[in-house]
Amino acid sequence: MNLDQVLFGDNQFFAVNHASDEKARQQAIRFRKDEDIMKVLDDAREVGVDTFMCTTHDRIAVICQQIRQQPKKYEHFKIIPCMPYAHKYANAVTDLGIAGTIRQYVPGNILGTFAKGGLALLNKDLGKLMQILIDAEMKMFDGVKTPAIFLQNVLVDMILGLGMHGIFREYYDYIRSNYGAEPGFITMNMPALLDSLEEVGIENPLVCFSMNKIGFRMSGGQKVNELALHTREFRPIAMQVLAAGALRPKEAMDYIGQFPNIESVLFGASSKGHIAETKELIEKALTMTTALVN
């Protein structure tokens, strides 16, 4: 299953800015209401961006509810969930305690789920515990098209560091069998992740990673990442292509256009004009990469 070339991200909605705390504060003020988020998503749809790649922030549940209520309007709209949203669980534990957090987020029969979770913990079977958390996170997306589901870099890179690569395989198989979606991985260390996925038999994986002209957040070094794009078999999704605003869109996309095989580009924006401009530049860049391959 091929994803759209242009993926719209959610950082701007939830006050995430890797370059400026002041910009993050301004974004938090601008998007304090759910309708402010929906307005930008509708602007994106109107210029032809139909895939929203987002965390499982609690406010996304409201967005999903509005999509379900207007199926005709959002007939072609897709959401790609990225989980877990670590801040959500950390804040919940602070406010509700561990037991309260489990009651808040674990779906279905509470006793049965506790039994499954208890067995997982007893046997140190993190795979089963992971399945519980996936089911909890995915509950808000019932009735919404989710062609792919990504594991967030906060967990992917922790698993890499711990050397527990078998969890990647369990995640991959669970997403495919239980949700009929394409499993994806977000990372800040793409070359190392590709090695670990190959180790557990995952072929041609869907991997989202930082890729930009100035090497911003590109672990292992820019040259190593560029080499992997040319020599490794995987489905690349480039993110942070604007390097948190350090690069202008055209400059950023001219760089991306040098590399064959990039399937999609993830970006965030707040204005309709900026969304339309960036979409056009992404599509032009990826057309260039297709021409290079052929």
What is d(CA 169, CA 150) in angstroms, rounded to the nearest whole number? Answer: 13
Q: For 119-174, how does the pLDDT look when each residue is reduced to its tens digit (9 = 90+)?
A: 444 445 667 778 888 998 999 999 999 999 999 998 899 999 989 999 999 999 99
3-state secondary structure 10-65: CHHHHCCCCCCHHHHHHHHHHCCCHHHHHHHHHHHHHCCCCEEEEECCHHHHHHHH
Collapsed DSSP state (helix, strand, coil) of residue 169: helix
Structural domains present in the chain: 6-85+146-293 (3.20.20.100)
Q: What is the pLDDT of residue 111?
A: 41
Q: What is the pLDDT of residue 110?
A: 42
In the predicted model, residues of the chain with pLDDT beneath 70 are 15-29, 86-126, 288-294
Q: For 109-128, how does the pLDDT look when each residue is reduced to its tens digit (9 = 90+)?
A: 444 544 555 544 444 566 77
